[in-house]
Structure 1
Amino acid sequence: MCGRIIITDTAPDLAAMFDVEHEGENLPEPSWNIRPTEQIPIVLESARTDPAVRRLESARWSLIPSFATESRSKFPTFNARAETAAEKPTFKTSVRSRRALVPATGYFEWHTEGTVKTPYFIHSDDGMPLAFAGLYSWWKNPAAADTDPTRWVLSATILTTDAQGPLARLHDRTPVVLPEEWWDQWLDPATAGDQTFVDAAVASSRPVLESLNFYEVAPVTGNGPELIEPVDAVSM
């Protein structure tokens, strides 16, 4: 699973990195401790224009399906299992044509032994941002007036898959990290997504996942660059 992410790049940096044509409003600032339901930047391509426009937008990290009657869900939606995403009512519409990239400097994972949980910071081997395979949805709040500018809520989830290699020693699940050569086809709303398409995306992520590095960090509290310092450096 992926329950805490870190994004240290600014919106202009992300826009340049992902060839974004339009930057949305109120994009979140860099953060070292992003929790589910908080705002995250996502990259998507709008299907309402021809050709599609690549956008960087602020989204709620926990997907709200368009058919929901309220923002709260009976089960967590900040992650979606890649193996079943195309079948689940909550996610299948998004798999079809509302796919996104979720940029991240890395993420935290907790390794559990008995009752002891030890946090680790997972990141790329070259320090470059990761691009998680995500899904997004637009939800219209039925309780909000049509004149309320916040009545439309953009939300997103991160796909996860079985951990491979050294990562499996920490946790049995990991986010799907797409290689750059997959970004365009994943975002393309004209490409109809199904389970076969998702499975191919997961397969493409395997070499990236096997190259990720990780190290132990101090307990994850607060918000600042010290959270991703190795535990040995923290204790000095």
Structure 2
Amino acid sequence: MCGRYASIKAPADLADEFRAVDATDGAATADYNVAPTKQIVTVVERHPRDAEGTPDPDRTERTLRMVRWGLVPSWSKDPKSGARMINARSESAATKPAFRRALNSRRCLIPADGWFEWQRGPEHKQPYYTHYADGRSLAMAGLWEFWKPKDDPDEEYPNGLVTASVLTTEAVGPLAQIHDRMPLVLPSDAWDAWLDPDTGSDAESVASLIAPPSLELIGQLQLRPVSPLVNSVRNNGAQLLEELPPEEVREPVQLDLLAGPNPS
């Protein structure tokens, strides 16, 4: 699963990296301990609409937007349900009522500097941090939805609520030593097809995009044990990403089994 991650790059840098326009309106700030129900940065691509709300089928616009982490289906009566839907299993998203519409036409990328996962040991859970060795952003596959109350206007969300989930997949290679699930990380050559709002008309195309990451991609990642301070959402800051000294690692794994260094 993916329950915490770090998102610390400035929106301007993310916009450049993902070839998008920054539409976060200054709401995005560095966060070393992103937790469910927080506002997060996403990359979305939509057909622009004219003054009457009609989409232009010949053009798309890619933007950075803020949404709440925890998908609320459009048919939900209560937006609080999103707290239980921070992740969507890639293997079953196409058949789940909460996710299948979003998988067809509301896919997004969720930029991250890295994600946290906890290895369960006999007595303790040891957090690990996984990131690209060269420092570029991870592109986690995501789904987004728009919710608004069906009857009376909602006092808390009078304009509706936009939410998102992170797609997860089976952990690949050495990452399975930590947990059996991981976020679905997409390589850059898959971004355009994933974000294309029209790709959903071809079920086979979508299925090919949600395959587990390749061993080549996994080989570009680094994994390190970090402080259990990350366990609390109240803790934040660069210290959460620092490697834990070997003598303080509660449930060590054989990190030498990880794939090699980032290829040139």
TM above 0.5: yes
Helix, strand or coil: the match of 2:85?
A: coil
Note the 1:11-90 alignment, pairs <5 A. Answer: 11-49=11-49, 50=56, 51-73=59-81, 76-90=84-98
Greater Rg, structure 1 or structure 2? 2
Provide the residue aligned with 2:53 in structure 1.
Answer: none
> Which whole-Å CA distance do the structure 2 matches of 1:115 and 1:162 have between them?
24
Shift of 1:24: 3.2
Contact 2:120 2:126 in 1 (8 A): yes
Provide the residue aligned with 2:159 in structure 1.
Answer: 151
Contact 2:199 2:205 in 1 (8 A): no
> Which whole-Å CA distance do the structure 2 matches of 1:67 and 1:157 have between them?
16
> Which whole-Å CA distance do the structure 1 matches of 2:150 and 2:198 have between them?
29
Q: 1:226 to 1:93 in 2, by over 3 A?
A: same
Provide the residue aligned with 1:218 in structure 2.
Answer: 227
> Which whole-Å CA distance do the structure 2 matches of 1:193 and 1:163 have between them?
28
Moved more, 210-219 or 38-47: 210-219
Shift of 1:75: 7.5
Gaps of 5+ in 2: 50-55, 249-264
> Which whole-Å CA distance do the structure 2 matches of 1:14 and 1:185 have between them?
19
Moved more, 13-22 or 1-10: 13-22
Aligned alpha-carbon RMSD (Å): 2.4
CA displacement, residues 96-133 of structure 1 (integer Å, 9 cap, x when unaligned): 01000000000110000123100001111211110001
> Which whole-Å CA distance do the structure 1 matches of 2:148 and 2:13 have between them?
30
Shift of 1:151: 2.7
Contact 2:72 2:82 in 1 (8 A): no
CA displacement, residues 52-91 of structure 1 (integer Å, 9 cap, x when unaligned): 2111100101001111111122872110000000110000
Task: Identify the match of residue 244 of structure 2 among 225, 231, 234.
Answer: 231
Provide the residue aligned with 2:2 in structure 1.
Answer: 2
Provide the residue aligned with 1:180 in structure 2.
Answer: 188
Helix, strand or coil: the match of 1:203?
A: coil
> Which whole-Å CA distance do the structure 2 matches of 1:126 and 1:184 have between them?
22
Moved more, 142-151 or 122-131: 142-151
Q: 1:125 to 1:228 in 2, by over 3 A?
A: same
> Which whole-Å CA distance do the structure 1 matches of 2:128 and 2:18 have between them?
27
Q: 1:48 to 1:65 in 2, by over 3 A?
A: farther
Shift of 1:48: 4.5
> Which whole-Å CA distance do the structure 1 matches of 2:183 and 2:80 have between them?
23
CA displacement, residues 29-68 of structure 1 (integer Å, 9 cap, x when unaligned): 0100010111110000123442121111001010011111
Instruction: Report the count of equivalent residues.
Output: 235
Helix, strand or coil: the match of 1:72?
A: helix
**TM-score under structure 2 length normalisation:** 0.82
Q: Is the strand fraction higher in 1 or 2? A: 1
**TM-score under structure 1 length normalisation:** 0.91
Moved more, 126-135 or 193-202: 193-202
Q: 1:74 to 1:3 in 2, by over 3 A?
A: closer
Contact 2:199 2:206 in 1 (8 A): no
Helix, strand or coil: the match of 1:174?
A: strand
Shift of 1:176: 0.6
> Which whole-Å CA distance do the structure 2 matches of 1:168 and 1:71 have between them?
33
Provide the residue aligned with 2:149 in structure 1.
Answer: 141
Q: Which amino acid aligns with 1:202?
A: I
Contact 2:71 2:82 in 1 (8 A): no
Q: 1:149 to 1:157 in 2, by over 3 A?
A: closer
Helix, strand or coil: the match of 1:227?
A: helix
Contact 2:71 2:83 in 1 (8 A): no
Q: 1:9 to 1:181 in 2, by over 3 A?
A: same
Provide the residue aligned with 2:251 in structure 1.
Answer: none
